[in-house]
Amino acid sequence: MGYRGAVGVLPEGEENITAKIDGLFNLAQADVGLFEMLDEAAVVGVPEGTALQAAKEAKELFVQVEVLQRVGMERIFGLGGGQESVQESEETHEEPAGEVEATQTTIVTPQLVLDTLLESISVDMSLHESLSRDPASQAQLLESAKATFERAVSLRNNFLSDAPPEVDVEMTLAQFSIYSAPSSPEATQLLEGALAGSSNPSPSLLSIYADHLVESLPLSQSLEVVGPHLERALSTYQRVQALLTNRLSPPKDVPSYQIPLLLSSNLLAQSTVHLLSYHLTQSSNNPSSSLHHLATAHSLALESITVLKSGLALKPSSTSAGLALLRSPPSQEPLSNLSTVLALRSSYFALIRIRIRSADSDEKLQEEKKRFWSVWSALTRAERDSPELRKADLGWWIGEIEEDKVAECVGAEQASKETQWWTSLLA
């Protein structure tokens, strides 16, 4: 509401164009945040359609921002200015000696316009994914994203010839999201080409490449073919983990406050690779290897909870087959923001997914079921312990696992049984 109010009180006029751009951009980003939060079932009691409405408004706002930014940029480049003119105009110019005030010229740079274009593409593709039951709307969104990407390429080539490597990484990721089906050879070539062209690839690019390797696993082929794909994905995830945990030389393009969330997601992705390996090796002549993968998946899922620094963690109980809660030292300030809570949810639900595979009897499955909500309530300090939130969280999780790679690996019958187990938690 604050961003919307700020945009509403801005007076018209060219002298206020920068303030209007900032206001509209901030409002669009707030809409994106709302869409993502609602899309992940983080809240309940919100009218149906609010998430899509927020995303559609964000799309419209980014279009408005781009138009205004190009007007502002035209003042510099339309008069024969180049990159040098941009750099000069960004400097602070002092008044002659004796004057008290100084003035600063604020301009729209090509990089700011490119940022807007990339944000607009991201919204288009998020809406494209959400509207899976509306092929006509999906086609329109895809064409919109392609047109926006073409404008981004033109801007990059004409005005950002000396752009830092991060710009090309963002362009590659946008191109990947638009033009590449997850399992297509073109997607692999695009990402591998971007990695080959970077001497120091970013954690985000490496992570997306590893995700792509998992998503494109040829499960219909033999273990001898699938195995190397999994090993490559796992080694790439481990490379990202090393970058995120390097205290001597932390990644420059990753804010420190994001590292716990990224590290948790990374460990959970590694856990999923081991879970897939567990299922793929079950029918082999090496049962100890299969059980090793399951145990490693369990350990990584536990670690993904610990690294979030929420003030609480889990470990296997020494007195039962359940889980024991650990508290962080009093000196460590616990993180309790919404992003941390949602990451806890991903890690905890994935951990239980692994544990029900370790349960070798109906009795143990029932024990996991009995403990589930009490542990979840304690882990989140009862922040998400209500019937409405329980239903929302389970609905989100069932949507996540119904069509993921593990479900594909075990087959429709086993995946359906697992879904039934999760659904029974609401009984």
With a pLDDT cut of 70, the percent of the chain lying above it is 88
- Residues 163 and 184 reside in one and the same domain: no
Judge whether 50 lies within some domain: yes
User: Do residue 65 and residue 1 come from a single domain?
Assistant: yes
Mean pLDDT is lowest, of 30-44, 111-125, 368-382, for 30-44
pLDDT digit string, tens, across residues 202-230: 899 999 999 999 999 999 898 899 999 99
Is the confidence at residue 407, as pLDDT, over 50? yes
Residue pLDDT, tens place only, 288-308: 899 999 999 999 999 999 999
Q: Are residues 19 and 67 in the same domain?
A: yes
In a domain, 140, yes or no: yes
List pLDDT tens digits, range 23-60.
899 999 999 999 998 888 778 888 988 999 999 999 99
Q: Is residue 350 part of a domain?
A: no
- Considering the domain architecture, whether residues 45 and 128 belong to the same structural domain is answered as yes
**Same domain, yes or no: 228 and 190:** yes
- Residues 221, 123, single domain; the answer is no
Has residue 378 been placed in a domain?
no
The answer to the question of residue 217 being in a domain is yes
Q: Say if strands 312-316 and 102-104 run parallel, antiparallel, or are unpaired.
A: unpaired
Q: Looking at per-residue confidence, does 329 or 160 come out higher?
A: 160
Quote the pLDDT of residue 89. Answer: 37
More confident call, 415 vs 105:
415
> Mean of the pLDDT values across residues 142-148?
95
Residue at 320: amino acid letter? S
For residue 194, the enclosing domain spans 180-254
The pTM of the full predicted model, rounded to 2 decimals, is 0.86
Q: Please tell me whether residues 70 and 185 are part of one structural domain.
A: no
What was the pLDDT predicted at 46? 87
Cβ(127)–Cβ(56) under 8 Å?
yes
Please give the radius of gyration of the chain, using alpha carbons only, rounded to the nearest integer: 25
Q: How far is CA 325 from CA 260, 308, 370, 380, in A?
A: 19, 14, 16, 11
Q: Please give the average per-residue pLDDT across 93-103, as a whole number.
A: 39
133 occurs within a structural domain: yes
CA-to-CA distance for 362 and 109, rounded, in angstroms?
Answer: 63
CB atoms within 10 A of CB 49: 10
Count CA atoms closer than 13 A to 370's CA, side-chain side.
8
Residue 22 falls inside a structural domain: yes
pLDDT-based confidence at 186, cuts 50/70/90?
confident
Q: How far apart are the first and last CA of the chain?
A: 38
Which of 179, 206, 223 is the last residue in one of the domains? 179
pLDDT of 334: 86
Q: pLDDT class for 311, splitting at 50, 70, 90?
A: very high
Which of 254, 271, 300 is the C-terminal boundary of a domain?
254
On average, the pLDDT of the chain sits at: 86
User: For the ranges 15-29, 87-101, 117-131, 387-401, which has the lowest average pLDDT?
Assistant: 87-101
Q: Looking at the domain assignment, is residue 308 inside a domain? A: no
Count up the domains in the chain and report the number. 2
Domain closes at, from 118, 147, 179: 179
pLDDT at 103: 33
Identify which has the larger pLDDT, 15 or 231: 231
pLDDT for res 252 = 80
CA-CA distance, 59 to 32, in Å (whole number)?
A: 9
**Per-residue pLDDT averaged across 84-96, rounded?**
39
Of 377, 385, 371, residue with least CA distance to 317: 371
pLDDT of residue 77 exceeding 80, the answer is: no
Higher pLDDT, 13 or 398: 398
Contacts of 258 (CB under 8 A, 6+ apart): none
Q: Is 312 strand, coil or helix?
A: strand
pLDDT at 169 over 70: yes
Residue 58, both tokens: 């964000």
